[in-house]
Amino acid sequence: MILRKAIYYVTAVVSLAATAVICIVFLALSLHAAMRPLVGDAWASVIVAGAAVLLAAAISAVMLYRASPPRRQQEEPKDLASRMFELVQAKPLVALGIAGAIAAVALKNPRTTATVVSALMAGRASKK
């Protein structure tokens, strides 16, 4: 089933490419026929070649743009404190609930609180 879909997609892409080539050839022939009475045979051929170069340049520019789109400037990752302040400003009731839960844990488990505080202090000391 998957192979059948892949074959259908490849067939569709190839038929679209063939149709595009046929259209471009007929457009080139019609451009040549339109320019021949105005500028002559040689200059009409030059105009068709120039149009083909412009078309190829436009297609390659689009392909290059799609291959490597311009990158957005990424913001620097925010530290924990600034993210907490944003949470407090955005959702104060949630922040109050979190503060209450932390206070309950700190009162029930002083050993855990001491471990967390010492880990935070050690982290700050290593940054300096």
Kindly list the averaged pLDDT for each block of 10 residues, start to end, along the chain of length 128.
86 89 88 90 89 87 80 75 82 84 81 81 66
Which pTM value belongs to this model? 0.45
Task: Give me the pLDDT at residue 124, please.
Answer: 63
Task: Give me the pLDDT at residue 125, please.
Answer: 63
Residue 80 is encoded by which pair of tokens? 């924990």
Task: Give me the pLDDT at residue 39, please.
Answer: 92
Greatest C-alpha distance within the chain: 97
Task: Give me the pLDDT at residue 119, please.
Answer: 81
35 neighbors 48 (Cβ within 8 angstroms): yes
